[in-house]
Amino acid sequence: MRKKKTYAVFGLGRYGQAVANQLVEGGMEVLAVDIDQRIVNDMAAVLPICKCADVTDPEVIARLGVADIDTVIICMASNLEASVMAVTLCKEAGVKHVVAKCANTMHQKILLRVGADEVVFPEHESGVRLAKNLLSSGFIDMISLSKDTSIVEIDIKPEWVGKNLIELNLRKKHGFNIVAIREGKKVTVDLDPEEPLAKNITLIVLANTAKLAKFK
């Protein structure tokens, strides 16, 4: 059985809470950490693993077991020094994927330079979107249209290459409505259902979010 991915969220402001909540709702194991005990107390009711700690301290990073976590999301854009230290310590601990929130493009460059694998700008909605993209590994991007409906880009599977949309019948099998095909920068919305699918394309799909999770 495939091992469930683990996540840590450092900094439980509005953005951090949005990411952590979405990941928990997606059934993931999430370690949530903030330096403010009051915030930790408030979030403990909704985040099962919520700790008060200083993630700029190497000993704290070791005690938290960060080395065993797949993805760490650092949500402390208002404190560049703390973000830089947290990114550095996580990468030194061996975390494969570190995402950092930043305040501006200069901070983005700095965080990437010190080892962040991905840097995002602080918006609550993008926080939810980031979490959904993390949950939807195998999907290139996910945009929520409503609570139950999303649009995603999906890499074409090897077994789909050479078949057409009629043969695949993705609507019946998975509940997917193919709205467009992307090939490089070209997006085609006027689809020929009988045309064989090429190798290097992505499908832009409208579907029920729960069905997308099962497809993953």
**Alpha-carbon distance 111 to 77, whole Å?**
10
- For residue 120, the model assigns a pLDDT of 85
Q: Per-residue b/e over 45-59, b at no fewer than 16 CB within 10 Å?
A: eebeebbebebbeee
Q: What three-state secondary structure class fits 139?
A: strand
- For residue 124, the model assigns a pLDDT of 47
**Alpha-carbon distance 30 to 24, whole Å?**
6
pTM: 0.61
- In the chain, CATH 3.40.50.720 covers 6-135
**Alpha-carbon distance 205 to 143, whole Å?**
10
**Where would I find the H helices in 28-123?**
37-43, 58-64, 80-93, 105-113
Distances (CA, A) of 13 to 128, 163, 183: 13, 47, 38
Q: What is the pLDDT along the chain (216 residues), one digit of tens a residue?
A: 456 789 999 999 988 998 999 898 888 899 999 999 999 999 999 999 999 999 999 999 999 999 999 999 999 988 999 999 999 999 999 999 999 998 888 888 999 999 999 888 765 445 666 566 555 545 445 555 565 677 777 888 889 899 999 999 888 888 888 888 888 778 787 888 899 998 888 888 887 777 766 665
Q: To the nearest 10°, report the CA torsion of 50, 120, 62, 36.
A: -40
Confirm if 152 and 212 have CB atoms less than 8 A apart: yes
CATH class of residue range 139-215? alpha beta
Tokens matching residue 206: 């409208």
Domain 6-135 in CATH 3.40.50.720: yes
- For residue 151, the model assigns a pLDDT of 75
- In the chain, CATH 3.30.70.1450 covers 139-215
- For residue 10, the model assigns a pLDDT of 98
